[in-house]
């Protein structure tokens, strides 16, 4: 298994701030996004690698674990493994086992798309024992009171914004048994999906606990999500802002053309109805796409362009004077 230098992947220093990491991620994710590189396998692999790096470095807890791992990686290679709980602080309080899963919960059988390196230290190792991959369900609000009931288990399942938009069916293997989970269109971050009876075994013939999957929606470099609405920033030139025109913007269902009204202002928001996320409980209904206008001012003007702008300024002065 190859060590992943997430800082090097994003091109940032190990002491980089959260803001610098986010900025580097957005730049690279936009550069290697599949929409901009159709059919380019190398760009697709790079896009996945960049997302994996950001998944770790954007989360303070994961980043702390990763930084600790870096210092002990050589010992891991030579010794064939080490007790991660000593370095990551997963031992919990005395008498209280706190198991937390990060990343891919289903080891080799999942479709998370992240590397074996990520799965080993932030997800599952493909072992039969779920502990170390799942959060102990003690304190669950399920309401069941059977003393022989097995514990509920909880895991985080990471999906992309497109998968949340379209919905998907995930198949995975847990303790030699194949399970399927259905993700409906419009899934949202923090949503809890329950698989009944797939938690820890019960005691003395009692029922098994349940498995809860907490959905985590990975950030998309193009859109910001606000409920069922999506926000996108469209850059236009000064001439389009002044005269109006047509530009192409992305949506999760394909690119569309929109009209920019003459005299558009920076920060102005144009609403595309029905181009946002599906309503989770209302099939067929969607939120909106909010397109924020960002005006790029011209730079490095030629002498001719400067002369023309001077003429425009003089015309504007005369126009104002005529209404004085």
When pLDDT is cut at 50, 70 and 90, the band that residue 135 belongs to is: very low
When pLDDT is cut at 50, 70 and 90, the band that residue 1 belongs to is: low
Residue 82's pLDDT is: 45
Q: Of all residues in the chain, what percent carry a pLDDT higher than 90?
A: 36
DSSP string, 253-318: T--EEEEEPTT--TT-EEEETT-SPBPTTSTT-B--EEEEEEEEPP-S--HHHHHHHHHHHHHHHH
DSSP string, 120-136: HHHS--S-S--BTTBEE
CA-based diameter of the chain, in Å?
94
- Classify burial at 319, counting beta carbons within 10 Å of its beta carbon; exposed 0-12, middle 13-18, buried 19 or more: exposed
Q: How far apart are CA 207 and CA 150, in angstroms?
A: 6
CB neighbour list of residue 234: distance below 8 Å, 6 or more residues apart: 247, 249, 258, 291, 292, 293, 294
Residue 151's pLDDT is: 86
The encoded tokens of residue 147 equal 């003393």
Contact 10, 57 (CB under 8 A): yes
Residue 129's pLDDT is: 31
pLDDT tens-digit series, residues 84-121: 444 443 333 333 223 333 333 333 333 345 666 666 55
Secondary structure element (H or E) that encloses residue 180, with its range: strand 177-183
Q: In what order do the strands lie in the sheet with 211-217?
A: 135-136, 153-159, 211-217, 192-195
DSSP 109: G
Q: Mean pLDDT across the stretch 137-145?
A: 43
Cα distances (angstroms) measured from residue 88 to each of 61, 63, 69, 117, 247:
9, 10, 8, 16, 49
When pLDDT is cut at 50, 70 and 90, the band that residue 21 belongs to is: very high
pLDDT tens-digit series, residues 301-311: 999 999 999 99
Is 286's pLDDT higher than 80? yes
Helix (H, G, I), strand (E, B) or coil at 231: strand
Q: What is the pTM of this model?
A: 0.55
Higher-pLDDT residue of 82, 108: 82
* Domains of the chain, CATH where assigned: 1-58 (1.10.287.110), 90-219 (2.60.260.20), 224-322 (2.60.260.20)
**Which of 136-140, 149-153, 170-174, 224-228 has the weakest average pLDDT?**
136-140
When pLDDT is cut at 50, 70 and 90, the band that residue 224 belongs to is: very high
Q: How far apart are CA 138 and CA 310, in angstroms?
A: 72
Q: How far apart are CA 215 and CA 197, in angstroms?
A: 19
Higher-pLDDT residue of 321, 153: 153
294: nearest Cα among 246, 237, 249: 237
Higher-pLDDT residue of 156, 242: 242
Q: Position of tokens 């039969």? A: 128
Q: Mean pLDDT across the stretch 232-242?
A: 94
Q: How far apart are CA 158 and CA 214, in angstroms?
A: 8
Secondary structure element (H or E) that encloses residue 233, with its range: strand 229-237
Residue 45's pLDDT is: 86
Q: Mean pLDDT across the stretch 155-180?
A: 85
Higher-pLDDT residue of 79, 245: 245
Residue 146's pLDDT is: 56
Residue 269's pLDDT is: 96
Mean pLDDT rounded to a whole number for the chain? 78
Neighbours of 76 (CB within 10 A): 17
Residue 142's pLDDT is: 42
Q: How far apart are CA 283 and CA 278, in angstroms?
A: 7
Q: How far apart are CA 192 and CA 69, in angstroms?
A: 30
Is 174's pLDDT higher than 90? no
278: nearest Cα among 192, 191, 161: 161
The encoded tokens of residue 201 equal 């075994």
Residue 156's pLDDT is: 83
Is 229's pLDDT higher than 50? yes
């Amino acid at each position: 298994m190859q060590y992943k230098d997430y800082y090097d992947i994003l091109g940032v220093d190990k002491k980089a701030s959260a803001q610098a990491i986010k900025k580097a991620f957005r730049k690279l994710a936009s550069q290697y996004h599949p929409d901009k590189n159709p059919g380019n396998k190398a760009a697709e692999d790079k896009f996945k690698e960049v997302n994996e790096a950001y998944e770790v470095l954007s989360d303070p807890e994961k980043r702390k674990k990763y930084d600790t791992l870096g210092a002990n990686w050589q010992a891991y290679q030579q010794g064939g493994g080490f007790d991660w709980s000593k370095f990551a602080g997963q031992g919990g309080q005395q008498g209280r086992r706190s198991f937390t899963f990060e990343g891919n919960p289903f080891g080799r059988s999942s479709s998370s798309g992240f590397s074996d390196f990520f799965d080993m230290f932030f997800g599952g190792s493909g072992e039969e024992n779920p502990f170390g991959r799942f959060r102990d369900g003690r304190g669950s609000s399920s309401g069941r009171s059977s003393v022989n009931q097995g514990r509920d288990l909880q895991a985080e399942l990471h999906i992309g914004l497109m998968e949340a938009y379209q919905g998907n069916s995930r198949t995975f293997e847990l303790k030699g048994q194949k399970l399927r989970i259905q993700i409906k269109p419009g899934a949202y971050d923090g949503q809890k999906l329950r698989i009944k009876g797939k938690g820890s075994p019960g005691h003395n013939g009692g029922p098994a606990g349940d498995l809860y999957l907490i959905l985590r929606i990975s950030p998309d470099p193009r859109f910001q999500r606000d409920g069922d609405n999506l926000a996108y920033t469209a850059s236009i030139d000064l001439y389009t802002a002044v005269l109006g025109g047509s530009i192409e913007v992305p949506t999760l269902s394909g690119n569309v053309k929109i009209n920019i009204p003459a005299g558009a202002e920076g920060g102005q928001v144009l609403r595309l109805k029905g181009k946002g996320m599906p309503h989770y409980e209302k099939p067929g209904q969607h939120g909106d796409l909010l397109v924020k206008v960002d005006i790029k001012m011209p730079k490095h003007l030629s002498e001719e362009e400067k002369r023309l702008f001077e003429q425009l300024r003089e015309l504007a002065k005369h126009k104002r004077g005529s209404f004085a």
